[in-house]
């Protein structure tokens, strides 16, 4: 099972660097996370060893081949070897692109994910799907590759804009709908978006649900497909808005995708609205 560390960010990172043998440390992040989160962990990195920082511009429209090429270039110019370690510090864009950069560089180097968004923590950073958008299509190029470790901490979330918390909540609602009635009741609590403890509690359940499902079906041949609830229409919506240069957040797209799925279920199966 993929080790998930949830304790204090500093302690978890220090222990992770200690446990994973490596020569050469690289850290990928985006421009927003470099401002808001990176300074909080830089001392752990510099205390232990010098990490080469690779910064990419923030946003889904940068999860593309040009950015990936730049990351490969930075790894290569920085002298990365097959024994180097890449830390992906950021939201789903950084962990998706960084995971794929690591999976493909020198046929694969090890990487650690540190999600800094709610969505990243409950979904993108866990489960081994990596990749980039290509040809106007979401996640068109990619690979399954598991992080050595995912460090989940609420510390980075303090600076997350509300829109991004809502985006993560979209995936939490999805998980609640496909998992337990108990989690569903928790997400219906009006206080969940203003009470960090309630949100973290729901996040922890989502992470363990996703870890369980992806462990049982890592390559999505059966059970894992359940995690795609709302994603067919959601990805179409997300891709469309990307081509219009008016991106919507992933969780917002998924929330709309869930609505489409439920309306179709109502229309195709003639189920009454309270049973869809």
Ligand X SMILES: NC(=O)c1ccc[n+]([C@@H]2O[C@H](COP(=O)([O-])OP(=O)(O)OC[C@H]3O[C@@H](n4cnc5c(N)ncnc54)[C@H](O)[C@@H]3O)[C@@H](O)[C@H]2O)c1
> Which residues are near ligand X by CB under 6 A?
30, 32-33, 36-37, 58-60, 63, 90-94, 96, 116-117, 119-120, 123-124, 127, 129, 138-139, 156-157, 159-160, 164, 167, 249-250
Encoding tokens for residue 135? Answer: 């040809």
We find the least distance from the C-beta atom of residue 191 to ligand X, in angstroms, to be: 22
Give 30 or 205: the residue with its C-beta nearer to ligand X: 30
Q: Under 8 Å CB-to-CB from 95, ≥6 apart: which residues? A: 88, 113, 115, 120, 124, 125, 130, 147
Encoding tokens for residue 253? Answer: 């797209």
CA distance 179 to 184: 8
CA distance 162 to 156: 14
Give 59 or 218: the residue with its C-beta nearer to ligand X: 59
Give 137 or 267: the residue with its C-beta nearer to ligand X: 137
We find the least distance from the C-beta atom of residue 32 to ligand X, in angstroms, to be: 3
Closest to 118 (Cα-Cα) out of 216, 204, 1, 25: 204
We find the least distance from the C-beta atom of residue 117 to ligand X, in angstroms, to be: 3
We find the least distance from the C-beta atom of residue 82 to ligand X, in angstroms, to be: 23
Residue nearest to ligand X (CB): 92
Give 59 or 78: the residue with its C-beta nearer to ligand X: 59
Q: Which contiguous run of DSSP H or E holds residue 32?
A: helix 31-36
Closest to 94 (Cα-Cα) out of 72, 74, 117: 117
What letter would DSSP give residue 37?
T
Give 14 or 211: the residue with its C-beta nearer to ligand X: 211
We find the least distance from the C-beta atom of residue 201 to ligand X, in angstroms, to be: 19
């Amino acid at each position: 099972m993929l080790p998930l560390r949830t304790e204090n960010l500093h302690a978890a990172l220090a222990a992770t660097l200690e446990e994973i043998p490596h020569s050469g440390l690289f850290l990928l992040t985006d421009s927003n996370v470099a401002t808001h989160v990176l300074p909080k962990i830089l001392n752990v990195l510099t205390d232990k060893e010098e990490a080469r920082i690779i910064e990419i511009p923030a946003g889904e429209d940068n999860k593309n081949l040009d950015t990936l090429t730049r990351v490969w270039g930075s790894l290569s110019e920085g002298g990365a070897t097959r024994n180097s370690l890449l830390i992906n510090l950021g939201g789903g864009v950084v962990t998706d692109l960084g995971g794929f950069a690591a999976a493909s560089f020198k046929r694969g180097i090890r990487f650690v994910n540190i999600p800094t968004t709610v969505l990243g923590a409950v979904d993108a950073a866990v489960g081994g799907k990596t990749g980039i958008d290509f040809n106007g299509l979401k996640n068109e190029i990619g690979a399954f590759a598991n992080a050595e470790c995912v460090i989940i901490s609420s510390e980075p979330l303090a600076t997350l804009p509300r829109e991004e918390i809502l985006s993560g909540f979209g995936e939490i609602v999805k998980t609640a709908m496909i998992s337990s009635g108990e989690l569903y009741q928790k997400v219906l609590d009006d206080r969940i978006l203003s009470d960090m403890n309630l949100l973290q509690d729901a996040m922890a359940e989502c992470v363990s649900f996703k870890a369980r499902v992806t462990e049982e079906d890592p390559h999505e041949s059966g059970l894992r497909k359940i995690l795609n609830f709302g994603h067919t229409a959601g990805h179409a919506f997300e891709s469309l808005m990307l081509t219009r240069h008016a991106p919507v957040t992933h969780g917002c797209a998924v929330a709309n995708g869930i609505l489409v799925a439920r309306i179709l279920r109502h229309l195709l199966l003639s189920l009454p609205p309270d049973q869809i």
